[in-house]
Homo-oligomer: A and B are copies of this chain.
Amino acid sequence: MSSHSSTARFAEARRVAIFGGTHGNEMSGVTLVNLWMKNSTEIRRKGVEVKPFITNPKAVEKCTRYVDTDLNRAFTPENLSTMGEHDLPYEVHRAQEINKIFGPKGSPEAYDVIFDLHNTTSNMGCTLILESSKDHFNLQMMNHIQKAIAPASCLVLLNEHPLLKYSTSRSVAKHPVGLEVGPQPQGVLRSNIFEAMRVILKHALDFIELFNEGMEFPPCTVEVFRVSERVDYPRDANGNIIAMVHPNLQDCDWEPLNPGDPMFQTFDGKTIHYQGSGTVYPTFINEAAYYEKQQAFVTTRRETLVASALRKA
């Protein structure tokens, strides 16, 4: 079979989870999942079990990102196989529980799809996060969502960077889907962000229902923004930040940053320019949670991926 006519075939997606509260102060996902746990009418689809689930209830209760350590970095092979329940950080213990319920990660028993709902303080709009450029099921789903919500837009961030990729909560599933919607401050619920997230989930679940019903999805292309580099704030010798995101860059997620463009502004008013070798597309610009991760933004590069035709096996 020649590659242009090959069709990707997957078993029906019978088990789907929607995670909220992986970061306890990201209120859209926390609120939607809590609503759907009380009344699941909206997320019910024929022949699919859709399970809404609060992943970090202690952090949600305290309205903080996490209690001991970032849950969305905790699903490493080491953490998931560690013994000694009593001494573990809360989130490592919780990662093990989640892996038992929705995994085990990498096994045939794992959930088919996990949607993990996040908010960002960055001006990213709606962003789907893809963990593998070879996941044709997710590429087709993301293409479907993009078409369904047009003229509204929803970009795709691809993170399969060897060093910057991290071990997410959703990585337990066969098809992990991250959803970031912003800008929204931590601890705040904004109606526009809430509704945007809700609509994307609707179309994502519709896609799964259509797929399970046997619809064939023709090959398509998906424009993605591939994570390239992490850029830290300028710092002094003691590690203290000495500059802010430049006003020309602030809120300009996904817009081209060219060599020589203003990038930071020091507290004494000097401009620091981008010195890279070509055009990049910054995102997660000035995200609150990434100060502690030494990241002012990540650069991405645009790329077009081809998704094979898709139908159920």
A64–B34 Cα distance when bound, in Å, is 25
Whether B288 lies near A191 (C-beta < 8 A) is no
Which A residues between 243 and 272 are near B, CB-CB below 8 angstroms? Answer: 244-247, 250, 265, 267
Asked if A166 lies at the interface with its beta carbon under 8 angstroms from chain B, I say no
A288–B187 Cα distance when bound, in Å, is 5
- Residues of chain B contacted by A245 (CB below 8 angstroms): 190-191
Whether A186 lies near B288 (C-beta < 8 A) is yes
Whether A250 lies near B191 (C-beta < 8 A) is yes
- Residues of chain B contacted by A186 (CB below 8 angstroms): 185-187, 288
Number of copies: 2
Asked if A153 lies at the interface with its beta carbon under 8 angstroms from chain B, I say no
Per DSSP, are chain A's interface residues mostly helix, strand or loop, or mixed?
loop
Interface string of A18-39 (1 = CB under 8 A from B): 0000000000000100110000
Interchain CB contact (< 8 A) of A188 among B240, B247, B288: B288
Interface string of A266-289 (1 = CB under 8 A from B): 010000000000000000001011
Closest chain B CB from A269 CB (angstroms): 9
Closest chain B CB from A265 CB (angstroms): 5
**Residue on B nearest A32 in the bound complex, by CB:** B267
- Residues of chain B contacted by A244 (CB below 8 angstroms): 189-191, 194
**Residue on B nearest A186 in the bound complex, by CB:** B186
A194–B267 Cα distance when bound, in Å, is 9
Given contacts A31-B267, A267-B31, contact A250 B187 (CB under 8 A): no
Asked if A291 lies at the interface with its beta carbon under 8 angstroms from chain B, I say yes
Closest chain B CB from A191 CB (angstroms): 4
Whether A247 lies near B121 (C-beta < 8 A) is no
A-B contact pairs, 13 of them (CB 8 A): A63-B291, A121-B188, A185-B186, A185-B288, A186-B288, A187-B288, A187-B289, A187-B291, A188-B288, A188-B291, A190-B250, A191-B247, A191-B250
| Residues of A in contact with B (beta carbons under 8 Å apart) | 31, 34-35, 63-64, 121, 183, 185-192, 194, 240-241, 244-247, 250, 265, 267, 286, 288-289, 291-292
Pick the 8 closest A-B CB pairs, nearest first: A185-B185, A187-B288, A121-B185, A191-B244, A188-B288, A191-B247, A185-B288, A191-B265
8 extra interchain contacts, Cβ-Cβ under 8 A, other than A35-B267, A188-B288?
A63-B292, A64-B64, A185-B185, A186-B288, A188-B286, A190-B250, A190-B286, A191-B250
